[in-house]
Amino acid sequence: MENTGKIVVITDLRTEPAKAAAEYLSGLGYEIVTPPDTVRLWKEEELTAFADPIKENLYGVIHPAPPIFKGGILEVTEEDWERESNQGAIAAFMVTKVFCGIFREKKGGTMIYLNSLHAEKPMGKGILFSLNCGAVDMLSREAAQDYSESGVNVFFVERGITTADDGRSNVSALYYGTDMRYPRRTTPKPDFLNGLLAFLLTDAAYPLSGQPIMCDAGMTGFYNQHRYKVEGREYFDFRKYRDQIEKGK
């Protein structure tokens, strides 16, 4: 197979899109490697020890955002702050430093942040998650500036909501009626970005490097309280969910 012998590290397999990507890319011949639980992603020395033995065949890294953490500003604790900072921005920073450093030495490689539309669109009750997404967004742009000269491609993917995220409708109004928010009128499955991720791993994707790529299939590309029904065509109807949203608050 074309991709045999190429190692792709997926740093965190806790989310469904990350698992789907691992399975798909494995089917394309990539060797998927994930750090064991003993490696804390915000610890540079642990990451380096993990990366050293595989660096010769290291081809790409996919760094998914951690699972969404729910909570308003007065609800989260100091421990929440510490944990979400660790696995959010600080982990992303150290992953970038270690793996992009290897790619720089190798004069090539791909770094993909499989992040969230919450790097752009707020959630309402997920302040720690979103601020970390915003941080990683800027980190990715800095990384592109720092490492691209050495042939490293850096992509920031703002993924949309999938069927695996449906259980979070008590987090945000954004999670109500997702089917009707998507122009295709159906919420994508967690594997909907697989083809895109495979493409980003190729060098042909380099023109997309260094800028966030909103991949939500048009979900947030409209004003959701503007029109509900136009000439027989139905759109997302905010009114249908108003009571539930209020309760969710």
Partner 1 sequence: MISENTETRSKKENRVALITGSGKGVGAGIVRVFTKAGIRCCINCNTNRAMADQLLEEVQSYGGEAFIYQADVTDPAQRKGMVDAVIEHYGRLDILVNNAAMQPNRFIDGYDEELFRWLWNINIGGYFHMVRECLPYLKESPLGRIVNISSVHGKRPTTFDAGYATTKGAIRQFTRELALELLGTGITVNAIDLGGCKIEFKTGNAKWVTYHPMEINNPTMERRNLLVVPEDVGHVVYFLCSEEAQTINGHGVRIDNGLLLT
Residues in contact with partner 1 by CB under 8 A are: 42-44, 72-74, 78, 81, 85, 89-90, 93-94, 96-97, 100-101, 118-119, 121-127, 130-139, 141-147
Q: If you ran DSSP here, which 8-state letter would residue 85 be given?
A: H
Return the number of the residue (34 or 85) whose C-beta is nearest partner 1. 85
Tell the smallest beta-carbon distance from residue 48 to partner 1 (Å): 12
Lookup: tokens for 29? 């011949």
Read off the tokens for 148: 């691209």
Q: How far is the CB of 249 from partner 1 (least distance, A)?
A: 9
157 φ/ψ angles, rounded to the nearest 5 degrees: -100, 120
Residue placing its CB nearer to partner 1 in the complex, 123 or 198: 123
Spatial contact of 60 and 8, defined as CB atoms under 8 Å apart: yes
Query: Shortest gap between Cβ of 22 and partner 1 (angstroms)?
Result: 26
Residues 155-187: b if buried by 16+ CB within 10 A, e if exposed: bbbbbbbbebbeebbebbbbbbbbebbbeeeeb
Give the shortest CB-171-to-partner 1 separation in angstroms. Answer: 11
